[in-house]
Structure 1
């Protein structure tokens, strides 16, 4: 925890400067307006979550140090290979945890905070829930523990791995060619945050996109379907119900769709009659039921079709 706090004191000022820099760049070059209160909400949730982590206010069902002590079959010194194995193990564990956060409602209830922003920008990257008190996913680091990756290596690498996910939350970086074959890029992550049915629950990778390609959860950004990240509201019949898989009231008014979806309590997102059980968010097909109300959806997805600050910003041309 001491290592995390040290890295945090260096990273947070950098994050704040880059968030403000992105806002200034968007205004000067594209006259894009970002909602100040949305940005403040993202920054404040990021601060409180980081403070919680720095103070060690959390519970682990099982700790990595315990797993190494009891389950390690080898003893490896801190060489390049140890750091490489640790990185791959952390990234794969992150992919699995992220996937489950999108599949199980009680976990989605915590993760949806990150998807609740009305903007897709660097500030959104910092929007994390403070409710992650119980750490459930350390168990996914078993492979690293078995080969004897020291706990100190994981302790140093974990926050660096987390902070390295910051930069790709932006609309101002286009496609990155060769790098998109194996790294998560802004294009990949715009897909992850989008509400378009074709993009729902895709691209869960954190640094490496290869996990999504291996396990069938990859979707590239399509030129003919610009990612729409409009703010969520109530559930509308026939429209996927997810924090960013619903549709905003503003969009509904544009389509002439009344906001009359039936909502009942659940662990997380708004739910509709006929949805899968509350603990399970369902398969993509189960949550992508579309009615005739979506026949005009292409109108929604055109860049600039939502004339409001911060909604469906057109991707800059490079």
Structure 2
């Protein structure tokens, strides 16, 4: 029964994916927007297939772990409507924290970075998966099993909300009125995929935007007259992309950083578990430092006096000490 329910979800969503992707390709060509390239789309499908293969292979393991906690659950549910409503809210809440930690801890960013590596934004980018995420994603959902939600229902709910998460990867849909206050919309998710400093690490939700508003990670998409045009991709995009580098480039760089000579054990841990962009010598910038640097630049343009001591605290040494 549970397997049949998931199969129905796939059967219903798959033709919808083909239709909306086909329409988006057609509309983007008619409007000369070039939303798709063949190489980028093939990369999206490749990453989806690798992710799906890992997920299916590892599924028996994480379902067994979730089942263990379900068998030791601290409560039972007797109201079906309440069961599914709370599961939706709780799963989306936990996904928000999974996604936030993927952005804020470099060890997890090394996996999630693949999803942000496209310089395009279209429906097919929604399939550009974080390849190794199935190996640890279930850990965030253990509390759901412990509170009496069946593992197969947890997996089903994640798959259902992920469908919405795919649909918000587009430039074709503008703002959606009152829904902007409740749901993650294409406008919100364009911000999430932008590499502009103001937009980095914002709008982490999958289905509901309320978590971002509650926990301080919300950023509205601003019109061009108020801020820069959105630029998609990474702050430093991958050179020489291929089937291997697209998945492992950040892991390779992290290995080099951790095992470089002349740094302390604590600094090595910083390269593993600090925020992406952290460096012991200030040679790189985190998202917070990039935002601070941008604000300082804006202040200088507006001729606002700025304390040089604050500048030196906010900008890494390699920049603040540049001649």
Displacement of 1:284? 3.9
Alignment root-mean-square deviation, CA = 3.3
Q: Which has the larger share of helix?
A: 2
| 1:286 corresponds to | 289
The alignment status of 1:246 with 2:246, answered yes or no, reads: no
Q: Which ranges of 4 or more aligned residues in structure 1 deviate by more than 4 Å?
A: 3-6, 55-59
What are the within-5 Å matches in structure 2 for residues 197-208 of structure 1? Answer: 197-208=197-208
Q: Report the Cα offset of residue 6 of structure 1.
A: 5.3
Partner of 1:162: 162
Q: Structure 1 residue 120: deviation in Å?
A: 0.6
Matched, 1:106 2:107: yes
Higher Cα radius of gyration: 2
1:1-318 matched pairs, under 5 angstroms: 2=3, 4=6, 7-28=9-30, 30-33=31-34, 34-56=36-58, 59-60=61-62, 63-70=65-72, 72-77=73-78, 79-142=80-143, 144-223=144-223, 224-231=226-233, 244-246=234-236, 265-266=253-254, 277-279=270-272, 280-281=274-275, 284-288=287-291, 290=293
Taking the aligned partners of 2:77 and 2:232, their CA distance within structure 1 comes to 48
SS in 2 for 1:175: coil
Report the CA distance shift for 1:7/1:78 in structure 2 as closer, same or farther (over 3 A).
Answer: farther
Deviations 1:295-315 (A, max 9, x none): 8xx9xxxxxxxxxxxxxxxxx
Aligned residues: 263
Per-residue CA deviation, residues 159-206 of structure 1 (Å, 9 max, x unaligned), is: 112222111100111111211111100111111111111111111011
SS of the equivalent of 1:204 reads: coil
Deviation at 1:49, TM superposition (A): 2.1
Q: Which runs of 5+ in 1 are unaligned?
A: 232-243, 250-263, 299-318
User: Quick one: distance in 1 between partners of 2:256 and 2:62?
Assistant: 23
Deviations 1:86-142 (A, max 9, x none): 001110111000000001111111101110112011011110133335224434441
Provide the rounded CA distance (Å) in 2 between the counterparts of 1:218 and 1:24: 32
1:20 offset after TM fit, Å?
2.1
| Residues 276/73 of structure 1: CA separation in 2 closer, same or farther (3 Å cut) | closer
On the 8 A contact 1:113/1:127 being kept in 2, the answer is yes
TM-score normalized by structure 1? 0.72
Aligned 8 A contact 1:108 1:268 in 2? no
Q: Is the 8 A contact 2:45 2:127 kept in 1?
A: yes
- Equivalents in 2 of 1:268, 1:10: separation in Å? 45
Structure 1 position 265, deviation (Å): 2.6
Residue 18 to residue 107, structure 1, CA distance change in 2 (3 Å): same
Change in 2 beyond 3 A, CA 1:284/1:203: same
